[in-house]
């Protein structure tokens, strides 16, 4: 099993930055494809960003391109999401996800999920 624990969320104003962290345990982290999803109030969970196990490939949702950066530190078994220029529309619970196979942008592709961390952006 893989355990994922998100942290770093909070209440900020529009234009501010936050850095989310996802600590993992239970499996060799370097072989996991990692991703971030989010779920805003009244909406379905949506893809945000993903990163390959090597860190050499990343992909972002159009809504966050140029503002968010996903990265990983395999030595620390941790994946990060640096969020800059935050907007009220970014308000959501952010979830870390891990996949033992190829990953992707679909929720069903991921085997493991964290409990989420709340990000609230005021205008």
Model confidence at 28, pLDDT cuts 50, 70, 90, reads: confident
Q: What is the pLDDT of residues 87-122, one digit of tens each?
A: 999 999 999 999 988 889 999 999 999 999 999 999
For 15, 75, 98, 102, 104, the CA distances from 116, given in Å and listed in that order, are 22, 23, 13, 22, 19
* Listed residue (28, 82, 36, 33) closest to 55, CA to CA: 33
Above pLDDT 70, what percent of the chain?
A: 100
Please give the average per-residue pLDDT across 77-93, as a whole number: 97
The pLDDT of residue 83 is above 90 = yes
Instruction: Locate 42 and state its tokens.
Output: 């009244």
The values of phi and psi at residue 115, to 5°, are -85, -10
pLDDT of residue 103: 84
* pLDDT interval class at 70 (50, 70, 90): very high
């Amino acid at each position: 099993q893989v355990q994922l624990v998100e942290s770093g969320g909070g209440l900020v104003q529009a234009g501010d930055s936050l850095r989310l962290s996802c600590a993992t345990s239970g499996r060799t982290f370097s072989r996991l494809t990692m991703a971030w999803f989010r779920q805003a109030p009244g909406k379905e969970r949506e893809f945000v960003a993903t990163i390959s196990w090597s860190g050499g490939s990343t992909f972002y949702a159009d809504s966050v391109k140029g503002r968010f950066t996903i990265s990983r530190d395999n030595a620390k078994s941790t994946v990060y999401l640096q969020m800059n220029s935050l907007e009220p529309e970014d308000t959501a619970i952010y979830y870390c996800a891990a996949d033992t196979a190829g990953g992707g942008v679909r929720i069903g592709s991921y085997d493991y999920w964290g409990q989420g961390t709340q990000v609230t952006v005021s205008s």
